[in-house]
Amino acid sequence: MDHPGAVVMVPVEGDRVLMVRQPREAVEEYTLELPAGKLDHAGEPPLECARRELAEEVGRSAATWRDLGGFYTAPAILTEFIHCFLATDLTRVADAPRADEDEAIEVVEWPLADLDRAIDGSRDAKTLIGLLRLQRGLRAR
């Protein structure tokens, strides 16, 4: 199946990573995830999509972006490639675009000191990859 691609952001604000809790009908549960979104079209620059989705999902903009690489979600059956970005130096967007009407999103500020628990409890692949890449970067400091 063809897919235009997607982005996942790892937004770090001070000593916290911003995540979103939202209902996922396909698995019939609420999941805790990193903010993410689908590219509008195959040619959309991933960073442009990431900036838009960060504002829509967590009401923030980032002054600093770092590419954390990307990954295929299911290369045997799907062309979806997810671009992963670290977003820092965050500021609140006063009149941020709202998430889609069908999205019931709660922003969760997760302490970096408790990152292991977020990783251990993650059931979402893009979130797990983003958090592991964040953790690896923090350990390299």
Domain ranges of the chain: 6-139
Q: Catalytic one among 48, 103, 106, 109?
A: 103
Identify the band that residue 101 occupies on the pLDDT scale cut at 50, 70 and 90.
Answer: low
Q: Give residue-wise pLDDT tens across range 113-123.
A: 999 999 999 99
Mean pLDDT of 9-36: 96
Question: Does the global pTM surpass 0.85?
Answer: yes
Model pLDDT for residues 30-40, shown as the tens digit of each residue: 999 999 999 99
For the chain, give the percent of residues with pLDDT over 90.
82
Does the pLDDT of residue 96 top 70, yes or no?
A: no
- Distance, in Å, from the CA atom of 1 to the CA atom of 107, rounded to the nearest integer, reads 31
Topology of domain 6-139, per CATH?
A: Nucleoside Triphosphate Pyrophosphohydrolase (3.90.79)
Q: Does the annotation mark 48 as catalytic? A: no
Own/partner contacts of 94-103, CB < 8 Å, gap of 24 or more, are 96/55, 96/56, 96/59, 96/60, 97/52, 97/55, 97/56, 98/56, 99/56, 99/57, 100/56, 103/22, 103/57
Tens digit of pLDDT for each residue in 46-66? 999 999 999 999 999 999 999
